[in-house]
Structure 1
Amino acid sequence: MTFTKFRIPRFLSRAGSRNLSAQLTLIGLGMTLVFVVLALLAPVMQAWGWIQDPTASLINPIHEPPSGAHWFGTTRQGYDVFSRALFGSQAAWQVVVLATVISLLGGVPLGLVSGYVGGRLDRVLLFLMDTIYTLPGLLLSVTLAFVVGRGVLNAAIALSISYIPQYYRVVRNHTVSVKTELFVEAAQAMGASTWTVLSRYLFLNVIQSVPVLFTLNAADAILTLGGLGFLGLGLPEGVPEWGYDLRQALDALPTGIWWTTLFPGLSMTLMVVGLSLLGEGLNEWINPLQRRENWDRKSAE
């Protein structure tokens, strides 16, 4: 009896897996850049008259289906869906970038100090961050949005509180492992101050995983912002925002007006997918050891 040698398809082999991962990363990067470009060009396109003012209603408001005059149609209030979708990406990026900056400013320094100093300070901060981390992110953001009110900065603050513990834990765990390295001990033996050790010897070595966290948290922040807008707690009323537009379009959906829900929801979905693919690709590129361990574990199974 002869046996035919079984060959693993190329896309399932190690090289094929790497190529597929690289392709998905490029797709995610391309999708993300498209939304960045659209957000930057939206005001220019409005100034040149290529798109309408997203906050200006038509003279005779009526819901029109997609056409040459209105590519994505109009809402029942007479707003152009295409222009609101473009400016919705701008609002999303504004909130995401601000929330990320606030999370970095809060989580990274606390993680560095906590991991390096240790002791009671580390235990207190670890308990506080774990307590915040156990709370559901959307529920925490909704509660904070009630307190701080609407607006781009307020929405960013409401989102960032739930992300600070993630940056803290990643930076703190890296700091605990790196501070025992010989180059850190040598700097301490030479009399380097705590600030010098943190800024010159630890910061650049523990910050490598932050880009991955940014892309993954950005995807989650877009969904959370959409949830806040859907509940009427995100940006001020009338400002182009995908969640708010979905909420306004719900009543029109049973009457067959599908375009007012399709395009804001599709925009949100594509942006989240792009950021998620980019985040996973960055994780494999920045942390190749994890990729190798995952492959070896799958091969053993």
Structure 2
Amino acid sequence: MAVSKPLPRLLSWFSRPTLSTQLTIIGLIITLFFVIVAVFGSAFQAWGWLQDPRESLSNPISQAPSAEHWFGTSRQGYDVFSRTLFGAQAALQVVLLATTLSLLAGVPLGLISGYLGGKLDKVLLFVMDSIYAFPKLLLAMTLAFVVGRGILNAAIAVSISFIPQYYRVVRNQTTSVKTELFIEAAKALGASPARVLSRYLFLNVLQSIPVLFTLNTANAIFILGGLGFLGLGLPEEVPEWGHDLKLALDALPTGIWWTALYPGLAMTLMVTGLSLLGEGLSEYFNPRARNNE
């Protein structure tokens, strides 16, 4: 029965009439909207609700928003509404893959480094601090030059900059928790280092991972947009907000504002939703924040 306790506690926290929980709910709604669009975008297109975002119109002249094209069309003849919605699909694919890769690398390294200490800890600290010192977009640009375009390549380029965050948070918590009496008792009873790490330490540092994951996903969207704007992200035919903003830049002086407004607004809205959700999770998982309410 103990397994079911977190869910009622989470629902109870969401039901509190505080500003933080209301903002978290707003962030959750925004995030779910983009997830639904990303997951069912292809189905919406098959049902005729969305035009093909890669198909140029027979008359590739930019058209203002209208009943036929809600967000207008671009100078390349693309339907901006379809490109904007399908941009969520590309964004979620890349950033979820990127943050998952960084999580899978940073969490084990943080656990091992914090638990074992010694020279390994010093070497890993030096490497992670060196990576963290680089601006995230600059590091992603450098890696994108090396690995090239594509969803997996873009995810790899974005993921490297987030590994130090998982590493430092998990390492610091592991260093603090490993001196607790229950860890000493487990080792005294013959628990192997692998069991101590996976069974005891990992469960005690787990609460910080959802917060980092959500906030890093929000940051990764901006990095992916920056790569797309510079022509280093996904292939040109893939609908992606950063690339569409790059195409819209030349059209702005001629008064074609809609090709830049809607992709930029979608990117900002998605990042805002994820940031609100991440801040809410941070407050929920932080005992001090809950006790101060």
TM-score bucket (shorter structure)? over 0.9
In structure 1, the residue matched to 2:12 is: none
What is the TM-score when the length of structure 2 is the normalising length?
0.93
Identity in percent: 72
Counting matched residue pairs gives 278
Distance in 1, matches of 2:275 and 2:57, equals 37
Secondary structure in 1 matching 2:87: helix
In structure 1, the residue matched to 2:49 is: 50
In the TM superposition, what is the alpha-carbon distance from 1:292 to its structure 2 partner? 5.2
In structure 2, the residue matched to 1:8 is: none
Distance in 2, matches of 1:257 and 1:151, equals 29
Q: Which aligned pairs between 1:120-269 and structure 2 lie closer than 5 A?
A: 120-269=119-268
Distance in 2, matches of 1:224 and 1:194, equals 37
In structure 2, the residue matched to 1:10 is: none
Distance in 2, matches of 1:148 and 1:59, equals 35
In structure 1, runs of 5+ residues without a counterpart are 1-16, 296-301
Distance in 1, matches of 2:170 and 2:236, equals 38
In structure 2, runs of 5+ residues without a counterpart are 1-15
Distance in 1, matches of 2:24 and 2:186, equals 38
Q: What amino acid sits opposite 2:190 in the alignment?
A: G
1:112-144 deviation digits (Å, cap 9, x = unpaired): 000000111111101110111111111000000
Cα distance 1:189–1:213, how it changes in 2: closer, same or farther (>3 A)?
A: same
1:155-198 deviation digits (Å, cap 9, x = unpaired): 11001100000000011011011111111111100111111111
Contact 2:30–2:270 (CA under 8 A) maintained in structure 1: yes
In structure 1, the residue matched to 2:274 is: 275
- Aligned-residue RMSD, C-alpha: 1.3
1:238-276 deviation digits (Å, cap 9, x = unpaired): 210000000001111111111100000000000011111
Distance in 1, matches of 2:236 and 2:276, equals 32
Distance in 1, matches of 2:160 and 2:113, equals 18
Secondary structure in 1 matching 2:70: coil
Distance in 2, matches of 1:31 and 1:100, equals 19
Distance in 2, matches of 1:261 and 1:43, equals 23
In structure 2, the residue matched to 1:7 is: none
Q: What amino acid sits opposite 1:171 in the alignment?
A: V
Distance in 1, matches of 2:62 and 2:220, equals 30
* Residue 99 (str. 1) matches residue 98 (str. 2): yes
Q: What amino acid sits opposite 1:160 in the alignment?
A: S
Distance in 1, matches of 2:118 and 2:271, equals 39
Secondary structure in 2 matching 1:163: helix
In the TM superposition, what is the alpha-carbon distance from 1:290 to its structure 2 partner? 4.4
Which structure has the bigger radius of gyration? Answer: 1
> After the TM superposition, which parts of structure 1 deviate over 2 Å for at least 4 consecutive aligned residues?
290-293
In the TM superposition, what is the alpha-carbon distance from 1:48 to its structure 2 partner? 1.0
1:44-94 deviation digits (Å, cap 9, x = unpaired): 011111111100001111111111111111101110101111110000000
Secondary structure in 1 matching 2:197: helix
Distance in 2, matches of 1:50 and 1:120, equals 59
Cα distance 1:20–1:202, how it changes in 2: closer, same or farther (>3 A)?
A: same
Distance in 1, matches of 2:255 and 2:237, equals 23
Distance in 1, matches of 2:129 and 2:55, equals 45
In structure 2, the residue matched to 1:72 is: 71
Distance in 2, matches of 1:140 and 1:242, equals 20
Distance in 2, matches of 1:224 and 1:185, equals 43
* Residue 27 (str. 1) matches residue 26 (str. 2): yes
